[in-house]
Amino acid sequence: MASTGVAAVERSLSILDAFKERDQVLTLTELSKRTGLHKSTLIRLADSLEKFGYVRRSDKGAYRLGSKLLFLGSLYQKHFRTSEFVPDALRQIAEELHEGASFYVRDEDQRICLHRIEASRAVRDTVHEGDRLPLTVGAAGQLILAFSGLSGKRYDIIRSAFFADSYGERDPETAAVACPVFGVDQRFIGALSVSGPRYRIEAMGTKQILPVLFAHARDLTRILGGNPDVLPAANVKSPGARSTRAKKTTSIVG
């Protein structure tokens, strides 16, 4: 009986996992193809999900995600005590640097974009709140690994410099720079990141980007109960920082 209950839960969750970023609605046939479940099973499980607000069924029989997921997402954000403060900081970063700004947290072997403000430019990299990205590539991912205690020369340098940068690492046409935000007892909370088309990030270079990131990281660290003095002052060049104009590598350490 217990194993049957677990299987039913897993099948129900597979319905929610079947929805991708591009999907607004999915037909029963599409859900069946993506989950491998029979239509009769899908209808029964979807009825339960609809009852609790996790999916909605249209008059034509197609399914869309329900508002309960948005509620759970807001609870997830509040759990990190960031929703009241971080979006404002990201908005200011985006206005100062004219590129997209994000805040990432770790979730097991991935990073989640918890907050995001897009750049007000036609050409930009696009990241959405809730996106799950790898830890092993990208400035924010490398920074999270470094401040999670991963050993190695690359992560030692990131911890010493208090930032990571990447150029074409996750996507050949984009680049990013990220620095940490701390909380009570200097516990690492997440990565504050600015990202955009590679040619524009390279043109600005870390010398222009880091003062802005560090200023807001210090403010957020102070607000969230950490000691901002562990981070470099906003007007001081970080150890290891250098202009990216001449850099051809994909990370701070090459």
169: phi then psi, degrees, rounded to nearest 5 = -80, -50
pLDDT at residue number 4: 65
Q: Which one of 3.40.109.10, 3.30.450.20, 3.10.580.10, 3.30.450.40 gives the CATH number of domain 80-230?
A: 3.30.450.40
How many CB atoms sit inside 10 A of residue 61's CB?
A: 11
Q: What is the mean pLDDT of residues 143-166?
A: 95
pLDDT at residue number 246: 31
Q: Where are the chain's structural domains?
A: 2-66, 80-230
> What token pair was written down for 27?
């037909």
d(CA 204, CA 55): 44
Rounded (to 5) percent helix, strand, coil in the chain: 45, 20, 35
User: What would the pLDDT profile of 190-218 be if each residue is shown by its tens digit?
Assistant: 999 999 999 999 999 999 999 999 999 99
DSSP track, 162-199: T-EEEESSSSTTEEEEEEEEEBGGG-EEEEEEEEEEHH
Q: Which of 246, 227, 242 has the alpha carbon at shortest distance from 177?
A: 242
User: pLDDT-based confidence at 254, cuts 50/70/90?
Assistant: very low
pLDDT at residue number 155: 95
d(CA 115, CA 127): 10
Q: What is the mean pLDDT of residues 170-184?
A: 93
State the Cα angle at 16 between 14 and 22, rounded to 5°. 120
Q: What is the CATH number of domain 2-66?
A: 1.10.10.10
Pairing type for strands 132-134 and 63-65 reads: unpaired
36: phi then psi, degrees, rounded to nearest 5 = 80, 10
> Would the pLDDT of 249 be above 50?
no
Sort 161 into a burial class: Cβ within 10 Å, 0-12 / 13-18 / 19+.
buried
Residue with tokens 């870390």: 206
pLDDT at residue number 61: 86
**What residues have CB less than 8 Å from 197, skipping those under 6 apart?**
123, 124, 125, 173, 174, 175
Residue with tokens 């690994």: 145
- At position 162, the amino acid (one-letter code) is F
101: phi then psi, degrees, rounded to nearest 5 = -125, 140
